[in-house]
A and B are shown apart, each in its own frame.
Chain A
Amino acid sequence: MSVQVEDSEILRKFQDEKTRNEAFNLLLKKYQQKLYWHIRRMVIDHDDADDIVQDTFIKIWKNLPGFRSDAQLYTWMYRIATNECITFLNKKKQKNNIPLDDVAYELADTLADSSYFNGDQAQAKLQQAILTLPEKQRLVFNMKYYDDMKYEEMSDVLGTSVGALKASFHLAVKKIEIYLTSRD
């Protein structure tokens, strides 16, 4: 298992033009899978997630020189990825001229047809339950359930207070529980 480089070290290397590419390479290796899965759980389809993760890292590359070191690099990158997902889903809604709920149904169909899903029936049902949630609740649940993010970190990512996020999370969990139990 490779030793993870500290974010501060990555940022320091990035500031130096000679070591910038090396720093970015380190950044990629450290965070590419985390950001990818975060995006994938939101958009379901692998190809869509592939496009979004690339766009996310390009934005990181462009904006990293202006990154303020007082904020956490990880949450900053998460925010970029989250915004890219929301932009994508909004575009999908506008492109097909369908309400957001129908976008969820479309994602559920994608999930059902996806060849890159090898979960069991329960896991599939859980994903379907998550897709019934509003966009922000989906984000909160995924970051908490799958990434074990702290509410403070989620607050940095989503720009929402910790209390609102807690409330949002518990609402999400309740809905999912009802979904799972009512359709056994």
Chain B
Amino acid sequence: MNRDRGNREWLNDYMSLKQVNPNNPFTVPEGYFDSLNEIILSKAGLEELKKNNSTGFTVPENYFDELAGNIQARINLEEALDKETTGFNVPEGYFDELAGNIQSRINLEETLNKESTGFEVPEGYFDNLQQQIQSRIFVEEALNAQSEGFSVPENYFDNLTANILDKTTLEEKVQRHGVVRKLFATAAFKYATAACLVIAVGGTIFLSQNANTPQEAHNNSFLHQSLSVIPVDDIQNYLQSHLDISDTHTLMDETKQADAENLTHDLQSALDSTSQ
């Protein structure tokens, strides 16, 4: 930048300074001043917008004037609240030891709960207990309510004791005159009688069953009696046409016991007998 030379005679007194090139030694980026105009104008426009408060937001009157005071008052209040004591005190070091004490208590409680008292209850007992109690109460109340429908003669309970004593005393008096025991009234006799009857009936049945031989038992069976009226030829024809392996086994098992040594002969005999 070249300057217009003004009155610079004073430089004559300062030769070293006079020898220095008075032109501006500083430079700027290329095009800087061209863009500087636009930048400043844009910023000025933004300032104008801020000034006009175009955001539309407003605050109550004197808000910002009072804001600093309100903030300070709030700070003071917060500090006062922090310092305030509720009047309650705790022993020294209480909160430091509290966590440890709680943990010890928890451990103790767990240990006590684990200890077995030797008593047990059915599974789910306590879960249902309340409901059971309530049901019982309901039943009891219902019964009590029902019993209210019954009545007794006047002074019944007052006289009951005396009546019972009278009766028992009278029986004792009668018994003193002689021991009379009823043979057929005692409970022991009744049980003995019942036992004898059972033995008699059971024995009869047992003996009657054992009296029959297998052959007699078979002859007396319903099957035999039913088949006896059917001709033998008809039976044989039926067996021949409808015999299968299971029938063979059944016949073999039921006719006679196989002789292990003569199994083949016995089998053939069985087959022959059925095929005939």
Contact = CB atoms under 8 A, between A and B. Distances in A.
Interface in A100-129: 116-120, 122-127
State the majority secondary structure of interface residues on A. Answer: helix
Interface stretch (B33-41, B126-134, B137-145, B220-228): B33-41
A177 interface: yes
Contact of A127 (B10, B25, B28, B36): B25
Contacts of B25: 117-120, 123-124, 127
Contacts of B43: 54, 57-58
B148 to A, nearest CB: 98
Contacts of B37: 25, 28-29, 32
A41 interface: yes
B40 A32 contact: yes
- Classify chain B: how many residues form its interface, as a range: 20 to 34
B22 A37 contact: no
Contacts of B20: 122-123, 125-126, 180
Contacts of A124: 25
A97 B188 CA distance: 121
Interface string A31-65: 01100110011000010001001100110011000
A103 B157 CA distance: 119
A81 interface: no
Contacts of B52: none
A6 interface: no
A116 B28 contact: yes
A145 interface: yes
Interface residues of A, number: 41
A76 interface: no
Interface stretch (B1-9, B92-100, B111-119, B190-198): B1-9
A33 B33 contact: yes
A109 to B, nearest CB: 16
B36 A32 contact: yes
A6 B29 CA distance: 29
A153 to B, nearest CB: 12
A54 B39 contact: yes
A27 to B, nearest CB: 10
A146 B6 CA distance: 10
A40 B47 contact: no
A147 B3 CA distance: 8
Interface in B17-32: 17, 19-29, 32
B232 interface: no
A76 B8 CA distance: 25
B147 to A, nearest CB: 99
B29 A46 contact: yes
B47 A62 contact: yes
B235 interface: no
Contacts of A50: 32, 36
A123 B19 CA distance: 10
A176 interface: yes
Interface of A: 21, 24-25, 28-29, 32-33, 36-37, 40-41, 46, 50, 53-54, 57-58, 61-62, 116-120, 122-127, 145-148, 173-174, 176-177, 180-181, 184
Given A25-B41, A116-B29, 8 more contacts: A21-B41, A28-B40, A54-B43, A61-B47, A116-B28, A117-B25, A123-B20, A173-B14
